[in-house]
Amino acid sequence: MQLAQTIDWPFLEERFGEVYSDGSGLPPLPTRLMAGLAILKHTFNLSDEAVCARYLDSPYAQYFCGEEFFQHALPFDRSSMTRWRQRMGEARIKALLQESLAVAVKTGAMKPQDTRQVIVDTTVQPKNVMFPTDARLIHRARERLVRLARKVGLDLRQSYVRLGKFALIQYQRYAHAKQFKRAGKALRKLRTYLGRTIRDIERQIAGDEQLKAIFIWPLYQARTVMEQKQRQRGRKIYSLHADEVECIGKGKAHKPYEFGVKVSVATTLNRSKGGQFALHAMALPGNPYDGHTLATVIPDMEATIGSELSRILADAGYRGHNAAESHKFRVFTSGQKRRVTPAIKRQMRRRSAVEPVIGHLKNEHRMDRNYLAGPHGDAINAVLAAAGYNFSLLLNWFRQLLCLLGAMLLAFRPRRQAISASSPY
């Protein structure tokens, strides 16, 4: 309730209301309702369905979302949250992150000067996809083609439903037993079944432009999956339903490769009273080199926090960065010798403070597995995770203030009783 009274809801309504216009049709849902649901979802690590259940169960959640009377039925459909996120996009969703920082400054949890010295690092936001193996991708590509062919009424010579499934099971068993020659034979079978299905469909849709338009993308995906090699350079497909997924290696022994999108995360250099706040989060498609992300990240970060950065600390992966000339000498990386004063050397010991922030974003605020579809879903989920993390720190800050106030009242109460007992009147 205290957080709801501190947030500047008119600012959010003005920012999110830019995408709406007066016209025919049903009026849009209240901005406070949808923004409040987005905050609750990523603050408490809930799915859309769980947020709806908590909304019906908790009067505090309803008050936070702007209700005056308790609601016994949802005033919206669950899919409205998806459409609202898609309509807002990454640029407007950043208003929630800006508001979390503004509330932190307003309540004393963070000082304005804390935002001028930052630590930057990158991590991987994994996508909600299965681990991609050649056999599974080839099998799934054939299944999708067969399903689409049946949907449009094509009569295939053979669908390989039973044989394809049996060949996939054989491959998995042989690979698990490290019998790689037999596993390779099963994989060649799967490629043969997929190639026959592709050629059968191409023969039947020849001369029909409408069917060609329907099959152009599934056939392209199937050919790419069938022809791509393990050590192939360049763009590869790792998921058929989320083709934007990239393979990123961050040098982890327990997880050599992760499949998703690279995300830049920035936090304050000095820990604020309310905690280590996240100042910025941004998805970086294309798996760019860490140092080549600063030209995009720094201007966007300054626009988000509303102040100019005076110092940026990063790890050795940012060597040879492409920061603008105005910020070129404000960036310091691990192992750097030139221009590193004793004061900066002491500050570099704080560089690893961004790692627990990344851990909290992943484990507690839905960045460990992104369920939002498309590249825009990657960007929105990263920003909402940072905003939810900041709002969780603010809730802890309000809780500490409330406990401190209660302790002061308890300490003051016996004193009043002693004074009243000793008074002759």
Distances (CA, A) of 110 to 43, 96, 103, 142, 292: 19, 17, 9, 55, 30
pLDDT in the model for residue 411 = 82
In sequence order, what are the residues at sequence separation of 6 or more whose Cβ sits closer than 8 angstroms to the Cβ of residue 36?
4, 61, 64, 65, 66
* Distance between CA atoms of residues 126 and 67, nearest Å: 35
Residue spans per domain, the chain = 2-89, 95-129+245-396, 134-227
| For residue 422, pLDDT beyond 60 | no
CB atoms within 10 A of CB 54: 17
- 95: amino acid identity, one letter: A
* Distance between CA atoms of residues 84 and 143, nearest Å: 33
What's the Rg (C-alpha) of the chain? 27
Q: 419 burial class (0-12, 13-18, 19+ CB within 10 angstroms)? A: exposed
Burial 85-94 (b: 16+ CB within 10 A, else e): beebebebbb
51, 81 contact by CB (below 8 A): yes
Confidence of residue 421 (pLDDT cuts 50, 70, 90): low
Confidence of residue 308 (pLDDT cuts 50, 70, 90): very high
CB atoms within 10 A of CB 295: 13
Block residue for tokens 């009424």: 153
* Distance between CA atoms of residues 137 and 190, nearest Å: 10
Write the pLDDT tens digit of every residue in 165-178.
999 999 999 999 99
Q: Per mean pLDDT, which range of 18-27, 83-92, 352-361, 409-418 is the poorest? A: 409-418
Name the residue with higher pLDDT: 231 or 423.
231
| For residue 423, pLDDT beyond 60 | no
Of 131, 127, 142, nearest in space to 242 by CA = 127
147, 176 contact by CB (below 8 A): no
| For residue 418, pLDDT beyond 80 | no
378, 244 contact by CB (below 8 A): yes
Confidence of residue 396 (pLDDT cuts 50, 70, 90): very high
| For residue 407, pLDDT beyond 60 | yes
pLDDT in the model for residue 373 = 92
Name the residue with higher pLDDT: 422 or 74.
74
What residues pair up with 124 in beta bridges, in sequence order? 262
- Across the range 328-332, mean pLDDT stands at 93
- Across the range 326-342, mean pLDDT stands at 92
pLDDT in the model for residue 233 = 78
260, 276 contact by CB (below 8 A): no
| For residue 248, pLDDT beyond 80 | yes
Backbone angles phi, psi at 421, to 5 degrees: -75, -35
Write the pLDDT tens digit of every residue in 272-291.
999 999 999 999 999 999 99
Q: Per mean pLDDT, which range of 188-202, 239-253, 408-422 is the poorest? A: 408-422
- Across the range 67-74, mean pLDDT stands at 92
Block residue for tokens 């409330």: 402
Q: Tell whether domain 95-129+245-396 is in CATH 3.40.1710.
A: no
256, 72 contact by CB (below 8 A): no
Percent of the chain at pLDDT exceeding 70? 97
- Across the range 392-397, mean pLDDT stands at 95
- Across the range 36-51, mean pLDDT stands at 94
199, 146 contact by CB (below 8 A): no
Of 266, 264, 273, 250, nearest in space to 312 by CA = 266
CB atoms within 10 A of CB 424: 3
pLDDT in the model for residue 119 = 96
Averaged confidence pLDDT in the chain: 92
Confidence of residue 252 (pLDDT cuts 50, 70, 90): confident
* Distance between CA atoms of residues 40 and 7, nearest Å: 13
pLDDT in the model for residue 345 = 93
168, 136 contact by CB (below 8 A): yes
Q: 207 burial class (0-12, 13-18, 19+ CB within 10 angstroms)? A: exposed
Confidence of residue 410 (pLDDT cuts 50, 70, 90): confident
